[in-house]
């Protein structure tokens, strides 16, 4: 398998951003269609998921035909391929499908570039919000606002030092499990923020939240892009005991994680 380095990620970033914008425009065009089906695992899928996946996968094959792609909808249909080393893409063409179906704005497109089992590059686009967050590990992260006009430039983002009091913890609106709730309750003072999709990673990366815990299983493609962006912004994503996450297991499943910004100061 090919092994892409940081220099290649930097060279690819603008084209990947354009590709993400094309998929976002298609999702917005299909937002009014109520074509909802249920996959074998019980989760919903729509025409927008599949159309965005087709655009992204075709674009990735054009940009880097030698790099394998693991995409959520394709994996649901065909089963996930096994990739143990080298570089590959992880794609969630519409993260937060339940939010999308409900007419809420908190759904995203996630694209991550993995190398040797770790996220190197991440792009998360929230089509309905007009926002895109991007990052390359060890090379910084930024945010782009679509409605800022043609002169819009990426704005650098950074995780903030965690306050000693009233830690802002962002949790899932649709998947707040008992273990995560118990973890949150362990903090003496908390500002709890509920959010959908991988935007939770972006809130920590841009310094508007401090921690995003999820102590229930989730798939590699749900978190890899957010992991790359948050790490590029100065934060971290680890197992609950602080160990590195292991991507690329046979079921592409992450049992639990804690995403956080910088350590408590003072």
pLDDT per residue rounded down to tens, the chain (266 residues): 688 999 999 999 999 999 999 999 999 999 877 678 877 677 878 899 999 999 999 999 999 999 999 998 887 776 766 776 789 999 999 999 888 988 889 999 999 999 989 999 999 999 999 999 999 999 999 999 976 555 578 999 999 998 888 999 999 877 778 899 999 999 988 999 999 899 999 999 999 999 999 999 999 999 999 999 999 999 999 999 999 999 998 889 999 999 999 865 54
What are the Cα distances from residue 220, in Å, to 31, 139, 160, 188, 208?
25, 22, 25, 31, 24
130 and 257 both lie in a single domain = no
Co-location of 23 and 106 in the same domain: yes
> Do 76 and 143 fall within a single domain?
yes
CATH number at residue 246: 3.40.190.80
pTM (2 d.p.): 0.93
Looking at the fold, whether 105 and 19 belong to one and the same domain comes out as: yes
Among residues 122, 157, 192, which one ends one of the domains? 157
Domain assignment of residue 1, yes or no = no
pLDDT attached to residue 56: 97
| Same domain membership, residue 109 and residue 153 | yes
Containing domain of residue 94, as a range? Answer: 6-157
Residues 6+ apart with CB under 8 A from 111: 16, 19, 20, 56, 60, 89, 90, 91, 122, 123, 225
The domain tally of the chain equals 2
């Amino acid at each position: 398998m090919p092994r892409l380095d940081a220099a290649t990620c930097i060279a690819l970033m603008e084209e990947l951003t354009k590709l993400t914008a094309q998929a976002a425009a298609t999702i917005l065009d299909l937002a009014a269609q109520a074509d909802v089906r249920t996959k074998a695992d019980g989760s919903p899928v729509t025409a927008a998921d599949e159309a965005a996946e087709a655009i992204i996968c075709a674009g990735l094959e054009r940009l880097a035909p030698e790099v394998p792609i693991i995409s959520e909808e394709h994996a649901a249909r065909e089963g996930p391929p096994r990739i143990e080393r080298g570089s590959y893409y992880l794609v969630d063409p519409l993260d937060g499908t339940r939010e999308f179906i409900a007419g809420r704005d908190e759904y995203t497109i996630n694209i991550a570039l993995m190398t040797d089992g770790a996220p190197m590059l991440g792009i998360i686009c929230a089509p309905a919000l007009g926002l895109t967050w991007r990052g390359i590990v060890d090379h910084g992260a930024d945010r782009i606002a679509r409605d800022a006009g043609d002169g819009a430039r990426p704005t650098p983002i950074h995780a903030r030092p965690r306050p000693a009091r009233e830690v802002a913890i962002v949790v899932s609106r649709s998947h707040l499990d008992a273990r995560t709730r118990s973890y949150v309750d362990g903090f003496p003072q908390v500002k709890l923020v509920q959010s959908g999709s991988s935007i939770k990673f972006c809130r920590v990366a841009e310094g508007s939240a401090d921690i995003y815990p999820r102590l229930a299983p989730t798939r590699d493609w749900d978190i890899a892009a957010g992991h790359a962006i948050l790490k590029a912004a100065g934060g971290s994503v680890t197992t609950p005991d602080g160990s590195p996450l292991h991507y690329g297991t046979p079921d592409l499943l992450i049992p639990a994680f804690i995403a956080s910004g910088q350590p408590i100061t003072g």
